[in-house]
Structure formats: structure tokens, C-alpha cells
Amino acid sequence: MNAQPNLKRLRTFIAELATLLDAKPDEPTILARGGDLLRQLVSHDDWLPAEFAQPDPERYRQYLLHADSRQRFSIVSFVWGPGQSTPVHDHRVWGLIGMLRGAEYSQNYAIGTDGRLVAQGEAVRLEPGQVEAVSPRIGDIHKVSNAFADRASISIHVYGANIGAVRRAVFLEDGSEKPFISGYSNIYLPNIWDLSKENLA
């Protein structure tokens, strides 16, 4: 997008979410108020640095944008190449997903009475500016897919932990779990603290 990304938006989001969590609210409050904050962030597509918006031809990418120093939350950009999708997986913590660019489908699942994986309702299509929530309390198992077969899509995810280090699971059709830890696609974080150019303006 812009040659000089507007990183102030990301800094503001981080500060406001940290302030919210400092008050030790319950999960419904985190999802409601945090969702409003994320909605404000993804309503603008001028802040994500290009390095953290690059698709891969083989698989989706999860770029770490910020990890709270106490690991209370992390922020990632999910970059989907054309037609890419996740396996059915869970998170084990609360999460917020905000659509920044393109569109994606999220299909929820549950474990049925026979122990097998069962789709729950229709897939939800997320458009830019929209936010949805996940957590073990409200529904934590889903599959996410790029809605487009011919271009990339990007969503911004916020989780109630350092998500790249959380032991979670991929689910097979028979309901069995395959443990995984996702890690991140990037080695370096965006430098959101170099204010030299902004302070010159």
C-alpha cells in the first residue's frame, strides 16, 4: 500500500489493547471491546508493512507483528495465497480475526457425539473491516480459507497468548487430534518504535 506505512495505527492498537487487559476484564469483555479496537485497525489498509504481507506459493504465512512482553497477547498477519486454506484446527485461547484485505471463509466445527468432526452451520465470509471471535468457550475449532482463487487475502489475528508457542491441534475427520505448534514465518518484527520520520513531519 503506502511506501511509508502508518505504523501509528498499530502502536495505538497495541497500547489500547494492553490498557484493556490491564483491567483484567472477563473474556466476553475482551472479545467485545478488543473486537471494537481491531475493527478500527482493519478499517484502514495503510499500516501493514509490505514485508509482512507477502504470500507464499506453497502455504499460508503467519507473520508475528507484536508479542506482549508478558505474553498476554500476540498480533499476527495471516497472508493467504490464492486458494490456500488451513487444516481444521483449534487455538486453546481467545482470539479475534479482523479482515484487512481480500476475503476469507471460516467454517466452524465441533466434535460430535460419535467423536467425529462435524461442521457447524454455514461457512462465514469475512470482508475487509469485519471481525469475528474464537475461544474454547464460544467455539474454537475451525478451518479458514482464502475466498479468492486468483489473489491473496490478509487477515489480522489477535490471540490471548504468544500463539506461535501454544501447543494446539489439527483435527482429522475421525475427530482425532494431531498436536502442533505453529511458530511464525518471520525472523524479525516490524520496527514500530522508530518515530524519527514521524516526528519530523
> Which residues, including other chains, have CB under 8 Å from residue 125's CB and lie 6 or more apart?
103, 104, 105, 147
What range defines the domain where residue 50 resides?
8-184
Confidence at residue 2, expressed as pLDDT on a 0 to 100 scale? 47
Flag whether 1 is in a domain. no
Confidence at residue 198, expressed as pLDDT on a 0 to 100 scale? 73
Flag whether 70 is in a domain. yes
Flag whether 199 is in a domain. no
Flag whether 13 is in a domain. yes
Confidence at residue 1, expressed as pLDDT on a 0 to 100 scale? 46
**CATH classification at residue 86:** 2.60.120.10
Confidence at residue 97, expressed as pLDDT on a 0 to 100 scale? 97
Flag whether 169 is in a domain. yes
| Positions in the chain whose pLDDT score sits under 50 | 1-2
* Burial of 30 from C-beta contacts in 10 A (0-12 / 13-18 / 19+): buried
Flag whether 198 is in a domain. no
Rg of the chain taking only CA atoms, in angstroms: 17
Confidence at residue 131, expressed as pLDDT on a 0 to 100 scale? 98
- Distance between CA 45 and CA 117 in Å, rounded? 36
- Distance between CA 162 and CA 159 in Å, rounded? 7
Confidence at residue 197, expressed as pLDDT on a 0 to 100 scale? 73
- Residues 68-72: contacts with CB under 8 Å, at least 24 apart: 68/18, 68/21, 68/162, 71/161, 71/162, 71/165, 72/18, 72/21, 72/160, 72/161
Q: Locate cell 507483528: which residue?
A: 65
- Nearest to residue 10, comparing CAs of 160, 188, 192, 178? 192
Question: Sign of the CA dihedral 154, 159, 162, 163?
Answer: negative
Angle at the Cα of 56 from the Cα atoms of 41 and 180, rounded to 5 degrees: 80
- Distance between CA 90 and CA 185 in Å, rounded? 19
Q: Locate cell 490471540: which residue?
A: 159
Flag whether 3 is in a domain. no
Flag whether 193 is in a domain. no
Cell of 147: 475466498
Hey, is 43 helix, strand or coil?
Answer: coil
How many domains is the chain built from?
1
Angle at the Cα of 179 from the Cα atoms of 177 and 180, rounded to 5 degrees: 135
